[in-house]
Amino acid sequence: MTLHPLALFVFLPANLVWAISRYRRHRPVVIGSGQGARMGAMMGLLSFTFFLAFFLISISFQRTQYRDIMITQIHQISAQNPDPQAQQMLQWFATPDGLITFTAIALVTILLICLALGSGSGALAIALRKNRQRP
């Protein structure tokens, strides 16, 4: 939570490469790209689970601050958008039900990013390792 959100694109793949290399040291079997992708997806799911736990805990302690920050951001985005339908939708997101929906959509998006980044990094880590081991 204290790191920049873009740190996910550095730390998740780096931890995944470290975990796969550690796994290979203890189990010297051939790992396919599919298994690497599944390992990465699992690590992405675990990363999201810890993120979700910290997010929910911080939101429960700072509910009004979160609401105020999000509503301010939604109003700023709405003011910059010339489309009246988009402004109306953004104004709905500023309501209590809309804010819950917006937060849920954001969390699902973060989950999908974690899964895609994890599985892609896992498959890539295995594929690059195979190319390096060939004579």
Closest by Cα among 1, 6, 93, 13 to 53: 1
Question: Can you give the pLDDT of all 135 residues of the chain as single tens digits?
Answer: 455 666 666 777 777 777 777 777 777 777 788 888 888 898 889 888 888 888 899 888 998 998 999 899 888 888 888 888 888 888 888 888 999 999 999 999 999 998 998 888 888 888 877 655 544
Q: What is residue 130's predicted lDDT score, i.e. its pLDDT?
A: 62
Per domain, the residue ranges of the chain are: 5-133
Q: How far apart are the first and last CA of the chain?
A: 43
Q: What is residue 88's predicted lDDT score, i.e. its pLDDT?
A: 87
